[in-house]
Amino acid sequence: MADLVKEIEKRRTFAIISHPDAGKTTLTEKFLLYGGAINLAGSVKGKATARHAVSDWMEIEKERGISVTSSVLQFNYGGCCVNILDTPGHQDFSEDTYRTLMAADSAVMVIDASKGVEAQTRKLFKVCGMRGIPIFTFFNKMDRDANDTFDLVDEIEKELGIATCPINWPIGSGKGFKGVYDRNEKAVFLYSDTEKGTKEGQVERIELADEDALIAAIGQDAFDKLQEEIELLDGASAEFNQDEVDHGQLSPVFFGSALTNFGVEMFLNYFLQMTSSPLPRVAEGEVIDPMKEPFSAFVFKIQANMNKAHRDRIAFMRICSGKFDAGMEVLHVQGGKQMRLSQPQQMMASDRHIVDEAYAGDIIGVFDPGIFSIGDTVCAPGKKITYEGIPTFAPEHFARVRQMDTMKRKQFVKGINQIAQEGAIQIFQEISAGMEEVIVGVVGVLQFEVLEYRLQNEYNVEIRLEKLPYEHIRWIENPTEIDMDRIIGTSDMKKIVDLKGRPLLLFVNSWSVGMVLDRNENLKLSDFARN
Ligand code: G4P
């Protein structure tokens, strides 16, 4: 029992988010270096040829140079067992990001210091906010000319609406980058890029009080500026407050350079100390203690055909409580069936390995014969635990999908259903129509391309997509009280049903929603489907 608590307490599970190109992959790679998980930087993603080695799951990612799918990595460092959840950087996958955040206990937001808050940072941050988890900010690329430091921090506060607390402070940037001042230690750590790609190499430390040595190292001008800024900072910035960090109200801020491996270890050390071990989760109103048995987990992601040679489908689960043993019988709550989880595995860079045991906080991927859905709970038989489902985002783009070759109906139905089950798309049908023609809804338009690509490549089915003008979707909350044929609609309204047969309405114009509500007294509408 004591061992169980010890194991779980050392877990740190976080998601890493950024606007594309801010340096998320480079930073992750350096983390792994410290964890001894890889020997040489570049194993995760080197230049050109080896790009995207980790999440190299779909051709489309390579073609576009974006990370569409997310991966999970684990390493040990400083007495902690760290689980990093990579999130897709592209805006069209905010739903995927949201699900990944559901599995995390905190988030690290990487920002390019020469660019500041970018469009995607804003979007992802909003998603983070919905989760209310601690958010840590890492300003990267300080070895390049960066924006004014106070402006950068201000921008976070104003644009993202979260208070900040700089833990370290940069001295210059670009060619004039001298290092960072650690506000806790009251010491300056001098920049050197000799560590590039390795974890070895000493970082020189000079106490702030040792003025002569500091002036000799960074020059009088930088020294004077630093003194001034420290004074300003101490007077103006929020004090560190762990409770506010825990509630996602205060973001600890760090500066560094992932590429030259400067400030990364400092960040890692502070981060692991400031972020929490696995947080309790709620199942049907009851708070489940992560440190105790029984084992429980929920599915936050389903990924098909990760390995083309095997045509497999992996369900990713976040363990929420207790310990998982590979041989154990578990209950799949939604399916009402007891089973053994097949080939439980963890990801390590580009490899997967089979795990014998895993603890709360860990992520395991299990072979999914097509039974799991996003949000499902799996637990030790005995006590039935049902975690709250993961809400589905309302799709904002719709298209009618037709298969080109009617002989391939079976593959089409299978493919489109499987992709929908993974949560990549949502499928709808016209009331009383068959599966020959379906309406697909997506949160981001790139998902249409992914759908087309995957149906062609994985199921050998060619489709034609015809974009529809609808932008607003409303599920009917009280279908039993409503006669679908009698709804008085507007000219831009369409009646459809989702995969589970729930009726809903599509609208082109947002004002039509209000009009239809006015015209049909008993009608209750909702912009998300209750699970
Ligand atoms: P992402 O995962 O957030 O999309 O970013 P990624 O790590 O791929 O980094 C994007 C580019 O920024 C890469 O250059 C990377 O080398 C560079 N970079 C990352 N961190 C730093 C940093 O601290 N300083 C500087 N100067 N550059 C940094 P690239 O040329 O696009 O790719 P590559 O050819 O180097 O792989």
Ligand 1 atom closest to the Cα of residue 27 is 7
Of 126, 80, 75, 67, nearest in space to 101 by CA: 126
Determine, yes or no, domain membership for 387: no
CATH number, domain containing residue 522: 3.30.70.3280
Same structural domain, 119 and 149:
yes
CB 221 within 8 A of CB 159: no
Is 480 buried (19+), middle (13-18) or exposed (0-12) by CB count in 10 A? exposed
Ligand 1 centroid–CA 27 distance in Å is 9
75-93 pLDDT, tens digit per residue, is 889 999 999 988 776 666 6
Q: How many Å apart are CA 84 and CA 70, to the nearest integer?
A: 10
**Is pLDDT of 42 > 60?**
no
Ligand 1 centroid–CA 112 distance in Å is 10
Q: How many Å apart are CA 262 and CA 334, to the nearest integer?
A: 47
Q: pLDDT band at 57, cuts 50/70/90?
A: very low
Determine, yes or no, domain membership for 24: yes
**Is pLDDT of 171 > 80?**
yes
Same structural domain, 50 and 126:
yes
345-376 pLDDT, tens digit per residue, is 765 544 556 778 899 999 988 888 888 888 99
492-517 pLDDT, tens digit per residue, is 999 999 888 889 999 999 999 999 99
Q: How many Å apart are CA 259 and CA 112, to the nearest integer?
A: 12
Provide the 8-state DSSP code for 408.
G
Same structural domain, 99 and 207:
yes
**Is pLDDT of 6 > 80?**
yes
**Is pLDDT of 33 > 90?**
no
Q: pLDDT band at 454, cuts 50/70/90?
A: confident
Task: Please report which residue ranges of 219-358 form alpha helices under DSSP H.
Answer: 220-236, 242-246, 264-274
Same structural domain, 295 and 270:
no
Q: pLDDT band at 69, cuts 50/70/90?
A: very low
> Closest Cα to atom 24, ligand 1: which residue?
141
Of 55, 15, 40, nearest in space to 349 by CA: 55
Ligand 1 centroid–CA 141 distance in Å is 8
CB 83 within 8 A of CB 77: no
Q: Which two three-digit tokens encode residue 427?
A: 């499928």
**Domain count along the chain:** 3
Determine, yes or no, domain membership for 186: yes
Do strands 11-18 and 80-86 pair parallel, antiparallel, or not at all (unpaired)? parallel
Determine, yes or no, domain membership for 4: no
Determine, yes or no, domain membership for 447: yes
Ligand 1 centroid–CA 71 distance in Å is 19
90-134 pLDDT, tens digit per residue, is 666 667 778 888 899 999 999 999 999 987 787 778 777 777 889
Same structural domain, 239 and 307:
no
**Which stretches does DSSP call E strand in 370-448?**
377-379, 397-403, 426-430, 437-442
Same structural domain, 27 and 44:
yes
CATH number, domain containing residue 131: 3.40.50.300
List beta partners, residue 353.
Answer: 346
Return mean pLDDT, the chain.
84
Mean pLDDT highest for which of 139-143, 190-194, 448-452? 139-143
Residue 303 pLDDT: 78
Determine, yes or no, domain membership for 83: no
Same structural domain, 349 and 402:
no
CB 171 within 8 A of CB 179: yes
Residue with tokens 């995969």: 499
Ligand 1 atom closest to the Cα of residue 140 is 23
Same structural domain, 63 and 197:
yes
Amino acid at 408: K
Same structural domain, 265 and 309:
no
Other CB atoms within 10 Å distance of the CB of residue 513:
18
Ligand 1 centroid–CA 470 distance in Å is 38
> Closest Cα to atom 9, ligand 1: which residue?
23
Ligand 1 atom closest to the Cα of residue 19 is 3
293-339 pLDDT, tens digit per residue, is 999 999 998 877 655 555 677 788 999 999 998 889 999 999 999 98
Determine, yes or no, domain membership for 254: yes
Q: Which of 251, 274, 297 is the last residue in one of the domains?
A: 274
Range of the domain at 351: 281-379
Cα 16–chain centre separation: 7
> Closest Cα to atom 6, ligand 1: which residue?
23
Same structural domain, 28 and 46:
yes
- Residue 308, SS3? coil
Residue 496 pLDDT: 92
CATH number, domain containing residue 294: 2.40.30.10
194-244 pLDDT, tens digit per residue, is 655 455 556 789 999 999 999 999 999 999 999 999 999 998 888 899 999
Do strands 11-18 and 106-112 pair parallel, antiparallel, or not at all (unpaired)? parallel
257-286 pLDDT, tens digit per residue, is 999 888 999 999 999 999 999 999 999 999
CB 338 within 8 A of CB 330: yes
Residue 40 pLDDT: 43
Q: Which of 221, 250, 274 is the last residue in one of the domains?
A: 274
pTM, two decimal places: 0.82
| Residue to mutate, 18, 21, 138, 142, ligand 1, most ligand atoms under 8 Å from C-beta | 21
Instruction: Report residues whose beta carbon is within 6 angstroms of any ligand 1 atom.
Output: 18, 20-26, 47, 89, 140-141, 143-144, 257-259
Determine, yes or no, domain membership for 126: yes
Ligand 1 centroid–CA 259 distance in Å is 7
Ligand 1 centroid–CA 300 distance in Å is 29
Residue 457 pLDDT: 84
Same structural domain, 407 and 514:
yes
> Closest Cα to atom 25, ligand 1: which residue?
141
**Is pLDDT of 62 > 50?**
no
Residues written for the chain: 531
Q: Which residues contact 104 (CB under 8 A, 6 or more apart)?
A: 13, 14, 15, 85, 131, 133
Q: Which of 227, 251, 274 is the last residue in one of the domains?
A: 274
Residue 201 pLDDT: 55
Same structural domain, 186 and 40:
yes
**Is pLDDT of 46 > 80?**
no
> Closest Cα to atom 31, ligand 1: which residue?
21
Average pLDDT over every residue of 442-457: 86
